[in-house]
Amino acid sequence: MNIDEAVPKLQFWNSLDEHECLGRNTMGLCPMKNLLLDARADGRAAGAFNVGSMEMLMGVVAAAERTNTPIVLQIAEKRLGHSPLYLMGPMMVQAARNAKVDMAVQFDHGVSVGLIRQAVELGFTSIMFDGSGLPVRENVRRTAELAAWLADKGVNLEAEIGVLGGNEGGSERRAVYTDPEEAALMAEKSGCDALAVAIGNAHGHYKGKPKLNFAVLEEIRARTDVPLVLHGGSGIPAEDFTTAIRMGVSKINIATVNFDATAIGAREYLRRQEEPDYFGMNEAIVDSVRKATIEHIKIFSNEGDVSL
């Protein structure tokens, strides 16, 4: 594949221009690209934590503030049936604006033009466009067109090349490693601010121990300079995170761990309370998510112990 070939312009994203987006130079709320470049310069990765409820959001924000660590707040398109964007989006953006640390807010695995536009209107500072199910050149073309539209509005774009296995709110997908040459094409021609790669990572719960292909990651890093992203972080061993960061990963996504922490926090509270109430359960869920998030922030930041 010749990475010098021009990417022809498509009109796929034209309907995005029907609306302008809101300004976003507010304290706390910041571009994702800034967080990733800072993390790379510091030899760490920015944690990106998916949320699906107010309690999850409160727990993640509390963890970031407790550790004084910038993070990315995320919500995935396929989770909107349980967590509508018009409800979750404003909470996430306001939480970032009020936070004591810098936070980006990203629409994760976006596919729908209307939902991407809505996320931008709500004040999200980044969009992750999932074109991994498209032919490579179609993925690059659509990503490039969207990246240009978002750049005019001060919004970052994360692209994806390769196919992650596992389940992200839908049917199981068969994993396909990212081709380093295709990654170079995407990085050079799309104008993306970050690139998600597939090296054996998967969404959801792993079936057995994850086996990351660091040789593929090394080759991708050698061919690209864009910050790399590792999806499917829940269940990956700490030592593999450390290796991935050392080899160029600047952002790591965590979703399943915190959804599990939400359910576990509620279950444990209900088990120990003879007369449970919502407010106590709320606090238990927030605390469970906070602890799970801090554990991952510590690993991604290569730091010592931080009190939970």
Q: What is the pLDDT of residue 226?
A: 97
The stretch 46-55 carries a mean pLDDT of 97
State the average pLDDT for the chain. 88
Which of the residues are catalytic? 108
Q: What is the pLDDT of residue 22?
A: 40
The stretch 163-177 carries a mean pLDDT of 59
Q: What is the pLDDT of residue 209?
A: 72
Q: With bands split at pLDDT 50, 70 and 90, how would you rate the model's confidence at 135?
A: very high
- For residue 279, is pLDDT > 50? yes
9-40 burial, b if ≥16 CB within 10 A, otherwise e?
Answer: eeeebeebeeeebeebeeebbbbbbbbbbebb
Backbone angles phi, psi at 112, to 5 degrees: -75, 130
DSSP string, 54-108: HHHHHHHHHHHHHHT--EEEEEEGGGTTTS-HHHHHHHHHHHHHH-SS-EEEEEE
Lowest mean pLDDT, pick from 119-133, 199-213, 217-231 = 199-213
- For residue 172, is pLDDT > 70? no
The CATH architecture to which 25-300 belongs is Alpha-Beta Barrel (3.20)
Q: Which position has the higher pLDDT, 168 or 127?
A: 127
Q: With bands split at pLDDT 50, 70 and 90, how would you rate the model's confidence at 117?
A: very high
- For residue 203, is pLDDT > 80? no
Q: Show the tokens assigned to 242.
A: 């450390």
List of residues 6+ apart from 42 with CB closer than 8 A:
none
Q: What is the pLDDT of residue 211?
A: 80
Whole-structure pTM value: 0.88
Where do the domains of the chain lie? 25-300
In order of 53, 61, 100, 112, the CA distances from 70 in angstroms are: 20, 10, 9, 28
Q: What is the pLDDT of residue 1?
A: 43
pLDDT tens-digit series, residues 58-115: 999 999 999 999 999 999 999 999 999 999 999 999 999 999 999 999 999 999 999 9
Q: With bands split at pLDDT 50, 70 and 90, how would you rate the model's confidence at 24?
A: very low
